[in-house]
Structure 1
Amino acid sequence: LIVVDEEHDLSYKQQEGLRYSARDLGVFRARQMGIPIVLGSATPSLESLHNVARGRYGLLRLAERAGEAVAPSVELLDLRGRNLREGLCEPLIDALERTIEAGEQSILFVNRRGFANVLLCRRCAAPLECPRCDARLVYHRFDHKLRCHHCALERPMLDTCPQCQGPLLALGQGTQRVVEYLHERFPTARIERFDRDSVGRVGALDALLTRMRGAEIDVLVGTQMVAKGHDFPSVTLSAVVDADAGLFSTDFRALERMGQLLVQVAGRAGRARRPGRVIIQTHHPQHEMLQLLLREGYDSLARTVLAEREMLGLPPFSHQAMVRASAPRAADAEQLLGSLAATARRALAVIEPSTSASGGRGQLRAETGAAPLSVLGPVPAPLARRADRYHFQLLLEATERRVLHGVLDELVRSLEARSLPRGVRWSLDIDPQETG
């Protein structure tokens, strides 16, 4: 038996080196060995739900929470016109206060680590930017450092603007800033941070989880780590500080992930006999997807998003591969992918299974009316310059996986046969989960 818990979790997809999905490898291994596999999740991925609809997977539902726990109450807090303190509105602050006074625990989800998202000069309005990336430096107040979250560059905090020596203004809320405010508001409360910075040391994660389970922490402020499948029996309040980012993202998977995140954060509250409460802050309380999620649950949201994906021909109703290239010179990376795009467009075809004795990779045969393959790009990556390298990407999308893989075979043969300019790197990502 193979069990993949929280099968929807993005961390199952390896994003560097050999890019593979541990979940999908588990399914492949189970099929090879002829053994059952269980993909467990309260918020299944749309790929898995699509496989259920096609009859490839069976669906087993757990209709009740473990033990005597009941589902928590959920409310949307409209942020329009409200005064915010480090991103928190007064009703949420009041709810935190009541929970602390009751001797119960709270979890706050903040989608950014650090103290401030942006440091801006009050005089010339220039932001502090990473010299190696097209990204802004994030201020980490606890160790008084500026860090780039993309290339790991680290510098001491500056007192003034490097361009005009004007004073600096910290904008935006990260986990550190929210924790600092809560310490000021509730000086006797035990407030801790749960993000990559706070649990990076050996043993720090286990120590934090032990303290949380032992009710030695009153408020836990964290990034997506807090939405994992932790069991904290004394947590009765879960809150999402800002739910809006997932509503208007250009990533077609954003609504799916928003729904998963909100349900997973909500699932941390009321896991024992005590009733739980979930608060979601938003500037768009009437958004149809938020309302659908609250009114009918994740299953209805998933069905709606799947229907939209089918209409648009997006995964899981099509199959994608991303070819990425990077180089010290932008032109080298772009030219490599441009050449591969031309190769792919010439290979718009139907794949015929090879009948050679060796088995082969498959033959490409051009045919009018063949299953289509779209070639999008090359285009600069969303963060085009990282660590002094320029990144470009080429997206291939086909309605049939064999067409996609046949074209990819041609691209790999082309890459293996050529001599690349110095410093050029490329990677192939099948079923990419991130477009950056």
Structure 2
Amino acid sequence: MFPAPSVRGLPAENTRLGYRGRTRFATGQRGRFPGAGFPPGPSAGRIRRMEGLFREPVESPPAETQASPGRVVGVAVNSNLWRTFDYLWPDELGEPQVGQRVRVPFGRGNRKTLAFVVETVRAAPPGVALKAIDELVDQQTPFDEPLWKLGQWISRYYMTPPGMTLAAMVPSAVGRHATRTETVAYLSTEPAAWPDRLGGRQRRVLDELLEARKQGVEPLTLEQLQHHSGASRDTVRRLAARGLIRTDTRPVRLESLSDHAEGDPFDLNDEQKTVLSDLSQKLRGGFSVTLLHGVTGSGKTEIYVRAIREVIVAGRQAILLVPEIALATQTLQRLLKRLPRVAVLHSGLTDAQRAFHYEQIRDGHAAVVVGPRSAVFAPARRLGLIVVDEEHEPTYKQDTAPRYHGRDVAILRASLSDVPVVLGSATPSLESLHNARAGRYALLRLPHRVRGLPMPALEIVNLRQEIERGRIELIGATLTRRMAAALDAGEQIILLMNRRGYASYVFCPSCHWLMSCESCTRAMVYHQATQVAMCHYCQATAALPDRCPACRGKIVYFGYGIQRIEDELARKFPAARVARMDSDTMTSPAQFEKVFNAFGAGEVDILLGTQMVAKGLDFPRVSLVGVASADTSLAIPDFRASERTFQLIVQVAGRAGRAELPGKVVVQTLHEEEPAIQFALRHDYDGFAAHELPLREQANMPPFSRMVRFLVRHRDLEKVEQGAELLAERLRKLLPPGQALLVGPQPAAVLRIRDQARFQILIVTQRPGVVQQALGEAMGELLTDNPAEVIADVDPVALM
């Protein structure tokens, strides 16, 4: 793993986390990362402050070493391996640098594999014939000093092998030869002409192109199509050969970054001026963490814009993180008007676009970076500020290795770069509130909406009293009346239904057969638009049976989803113009932008969506927000269910009444007595926190403890049980007595996903870093000979 040379002001033994044998990440020499002109590293005092949050200190990269002929270098491969490997460095590749990407022949088959140089000089092991580096990807290392240290910390804290960690920090498109053309795909046939027998991925390709056509953003690039459908190039080629789609090439379109910036549209109010004044002081004072708690519509984005502008004037760069690509799209539209040279980084870009923006940021031309969690790794060499908008959102947590939390990584990066970080939210996470109360974060508040606008009035409706017996309706009488009144007045509506699909269950009432995913222990969801059933865990699709396969009885659809509400809207308001926004319809930034533009221009009356419509959207003509069911997140078996419910209601309610039109919110529920719903009714964040935090403390749950979850999975349930028991036995021997509570092994809340049985082990500690310190040197050995796959998830945000 990573070595542990001494950190400024800290003895080496306090930071030692290396592995036995040849597993060091670097030489252990002190000094700067190869290169010049880096800003000074963090002070010992700031490192100690960061230990209060994560405990894991960081360390400096090794100094550059003089080249010698036939040298041996150490590399970390992009694989789930904890050790590093020796390779010969050919002289024609020039001087090696720590952090450079290379491709190496790996394994018995000499498969060309991405790797990272972690040590520039190694002694050749005697009597061993070493392989040579195949290819040099980077002429210069993509890591500066703070990013290199950040990679070290992520690998240690989130218990992920260094090669996998570093690979997640640099887009694979960077360093390739720029392509001049790209392949795009068009739909050639209508759904009625599609063959009955189509593979799941083939159908998803056709569905994606059909949705793009409906949205008016056809064609899709081949990269976008593959990314959202999960299909391979071969799948696309087979569909083209059958005449179902057609492909073409077009020149790559890369828009240059604009220097144009408009002036301020209005003056700040007194509360905003006070907050900006406090932030301005922090912009000149090195590292700090500020939690900005502002109610919805209080003008937090305006604070971000003006703080970022101060950073740009000082010749520095800023990173603005947002939780979703959808929100990044609208935020980008607003920032493009107000700030110069705004770059964007997210998964919806093509390789050419991603490489272009990355290079613009790295070379210093881009002044502002906007994007979701991975944008925290943007190569801003003159970083001056990081802003994390909607910091409470669980989408900041990565669900594949390395399983980092974008907010926490942003804080660590700000510390390493000695710059301030701002966390903004109308409903801060209880973890952030706890840190603010503990004095780790400064707390600034915007308690009122701009221009003295009132908070929207919330109305709780009990669905049991609204729906007529024998009728399947998801929009009750009260919400129907409020929507009719808003449409008659020419106003706009946002309607939230946080469940995809048309019906949650495909069911036979005669024999109680339930259509379930063959690979997961979950019911499949009926999607009316494509006439297929889909598993929302593994994305598998299946044709609907005409009759019950068990008893030949009649099939019924029950449960509710966003597509069923879409049908209900068409029946009740046939003249209304409706746009749906969920992951089934929004597959590219162009689709988000088209819907936003249409809604902003008044060309759409009702915006129907899942939770993505609850986050940060600002449309002045929205007077009514409806929540079709506030109970969806309450039913999740997770200790954060109440917090998620409260946040979702308050956030989506905040989309109403953001201009002169007064806002109304109708929340439908079957559990109106729930405290989370009652506190949301009053927009009472402090009251909710005062109610929820004592319950968390009593149960010893975050933020009063730290959790590490080990997930053990395999196709064979018996091997999962054996692997989980073996892992638990080894953990009990390694964990310090009295400092960690081990719960399990036990079946996960969802026992089987993607045909993998799943058990989990939870470790609860009072201090951060206890598990990492205990397992640091033994992580590789811990997983040796385990019959199942083991996944470590540090600070999990969900326990499904």
- TM-score normalised by L of structure 2: 0.50
| % identical equivalent positions | 40
Match of 2:455 in 1: 71
SS at match of 1:103: coil
Cα distance in 1, alignment partners of residues 570 and 633 from structure 2: 29
Equivalent residue runs for 1:10-409 within 5 Å = 10-67=394-451, 69-83=453-467, 85-201=472-588, 203-247=590-634, 249-295=636-682, 297-349=684-736, 370=738, 372-409=739-776
Q: Per the alignment, in what secondary structure is the counterpart of residue 515 of structure 2?
A: coil
* SS in structure 1 at match of 2:630: coil
SS of residue in 2 equivalent to 1:203: helix
Q: 1:59 to 1:13 in 2, by over 3 A?
A: same
Question: Aligned letter for 2:492?
Answer: Q
- 2:623 and 2:664 in contact (8 A); partners too: yes
- Tell me, in whole angstroms, the C-alpha distance in 1 between the residues paired with 2:518 and 2:526: 15
Q: After TM superposition, give the deviation of residue 31 of structure 1 in Å.
A: 1.1
1:39-58 C-alpha deviation (Å, 9 max, x unpaired): 01011011100000100001
> What is the root-mean-square deviation of aligned Cα atoms in Å?
1.7
Structure 1 residues 271-318: Cα deviation after superposition (integer angstroms, max 9, x where no partner): 111100011112222333422333461121022211211122111111
Distance apart, 1:16 and its partner CA: 1.4
Give the match's secondary structure for 2:576.
coil
1:336 deviates by 1.6
**1:377 aligns to what SS in structure 2?**
strand
Distance 2:714 2:421 in 1: 41
SS for the counterpart of 2:750 is: strand
Give the Cα separation in 2 of the matches to 1:171 and 1:390.
27
> Would the aligned equivalents of 1:193 and 1:222 in 2 still touch at CA under 8 Å?
yes
Q: 1:247 to 1:328 in 2, by over 3 A?
A: closer
- SS of equivalent to 2:642: helix
Deviation of 1:110 after TM superposition, in Å, equals 1.0
1:247 CA displacement:
4.0
Query: Are residues 214 and 164 of structure 1, via their aligned partners in 2, closer, same or farther at CA, if it must alter by over 3 Å?
Result: same
CA distance in 1, matches of 2:775, 2:646: 33
CA contact 1:110–1:223 (8 Å) conserved in 2: yes
Partner Cα separation in structure 2 for residue 150 and residue 98 of structure 1: 39
Match of 2:792 among 425, 428, 431: 428
The answer as to whether partners of 1:69 and 1:274 remain within 8 angstroms in 2 is no
The AA in structure 2 aligned to 1:302 is: A
**Shift, 1:199, TM fit:** 0.8
SS in 2 for 1:401: coil
What is the distance in 2 between the residues matched to 1:296 and 1:148?
35
Instruction: Give the drift of 1:404.
Output: 2.5
Counterpart CA distance in 1 for 2:589 and 2:456 is 34
Question: SS at 2:745's partner residue?
Answer: strand
Q: CA deviation at 1:201?
A: 4.7
**Partner SS, residue 74 of structure 1:** strand
When residues 203 and 293 of structure 1 are mapped into structure 2, their CA distance, relative to the original with a 3 A threshold, is: closer
CA contact (8 A) 1:70 1:273 kept: no
Letter in 2 for 1:138: V
Task: Check the 8 A contact 1:68/1:272 in 2, yes or no.
Answer: no
Number of residue-to-residue matches in the alignment: 413
Task: Describe the SS at the equivalent of 2:727.
Answer: helix
The runs of 5 or more residues in structure 2 that have no matched partner are 1-384
Q: 1:410 to 1:255 in 2, by over 3 A?
A: farther
For 1:126 and 1:389, locate their aligned partners in 2 and report how far apart those are by CA, in whole Å: 23
How far apart, CA to CA, are the structure 2 residues paired with 1:246 and 1:196? Answer: 17
1:419 aligns with 2:782: no
Secondary structure of 1:51's partner? helix
Pair 1:148–1:265, CA change in 2 (3 A): same
Q: Once the 2 structures are TM-superposed, how far is the Cα of residue 69 of structure 1 from its aligned partner?
A: 3.3
**Of 67-76 and 315-324, the range deviating more from structure 2:** 67-76
Quote the offset at 1:157 in angstroms: 2.7
Which runs of 5 or more structure 1 residues have no equivalent in the other structure? Answer: 350-365
- Does the 8 Å contact 2:507/2:555 carry over to 1? yes
Q: CA deviation at 1:92?
A: 0.7
Conserved in 2, the CA contact under 8 Å of 1:86 and 1:173? no
In the TM superposition, residue 433 of structure 1 has moved relative to its aligned partner by: 0.5
Deviation at 1:125, TM superposition (A): 2.2
The 1-side partners of 2:724 and 2:400 are apart by 19
| Equivalent residues of 1:341, 1:378 under 8 A apart | yes
Select between 12-21 and 339-348 the one with higher mean Cα deviation: 339-348
| 1:237-280 deviation digits (Å, cap 9, x = unpaired) | 11111112444543111111111101101011111111000111
> Structure with the greater relative contact order (CA < 8 A, sep ≥ 6): 1 or 2?
1
Amino acid at match of 1:425: E
Instruction: Name the aligned partner's letter for residue 61 of structure 1.
Output: R
Equivalent AA in structure 1 for residue 761 of structure 2: L
**Secondary structure of 1:112's partner?**
coil
Instruction: Give the AA of the match of 2:551.
Output: C
2:441 aligns to what SS in structure 1? Answer: coil
* Structure 1 stretch displaced more, 42-51 or 63-72: 63-72
Give the Cα separation in 2 of the matches to 1:47 and 1:288.
19
What's the CA shift for 1:65?
Answer: 1.7
Distance 1:410 1:134, change over 3 A: farther
- The structural deviation recorded for 1:411 is 5.8
**Would the alpha carbon gap of residues 295 and 230 (structure 1) be closer, same or farther in structure 2, given more than 3 Å must change?**
closer
Give the stretch that moved more between structures: 71-80 or 59-68: 59-68
Distance 2:589 2:418 in 1: 39
Return the offset for 1:32: 1.3
Counterpart code for 1:393: Q
Alpha-carbon distance in structure 2 between the residues aligned to 1:60 and 1:433: 25
When structure 1 is superposed on structure 2, of 16-25 and 197-206 the one drifting more is: 197-206
Shift of 1:236: 0.7
Task: Find the aligned partners of 1:246 and 1:115 in 2 and give their Cα distance.
Answer: 18
Whole-angstrom distance in 2 between the partners of 1:107 and 1:296: 18
* In 2: Cα distance, 1:187 partner to 1:295 partner: 34
The amino acid of 1:54's aligned partner reads A
Q: Distance in 2 between matches of 1:286 and 1:137?
A: 31
More deviation in 258-267 or 242-251?
242-251
TM-score (norm 1): 0.90
Aligned partners of 2:726 and 2:786 also within 8 Å: no
219-228 vs 46-55, which moves further: 219-228
Is the contact between residue 107 and residue 221 of structure 1 (CA under 8 Å) also seen in structure 2? yes
Q: SS at 1:97's partner residue?
A: helix
Q: C-alpha distance in 1, partners of 2:679/2:759? A: 37
Q: What is the match of residue 354 of structure 1?
A: none
Structure 2 residue identity aligned to 1:120: F
Instruction: Kindly indicate whether the alpha-carbon contact (under 8 Å) linking 1:145 and 1:154 is maintained by their aligned counterparts in 2.
Output: yes
Structure 2 partner of 1:5:
389
**Structure 1 pair 26/286, CA: closer, same or farther in 2 (3 Å)?**
same
Partner secondary structure for residue 486 of structure 2: helix
* Matched residue type, 1:431: D
1:175-198 Cα deviation digits (max 9, x unpaired): 000001110111111112111001
Indicate the residue corresponding to 1:357 in structure 2: none
Instruction: State the AA in 1 paired with 2:694.
Output: A
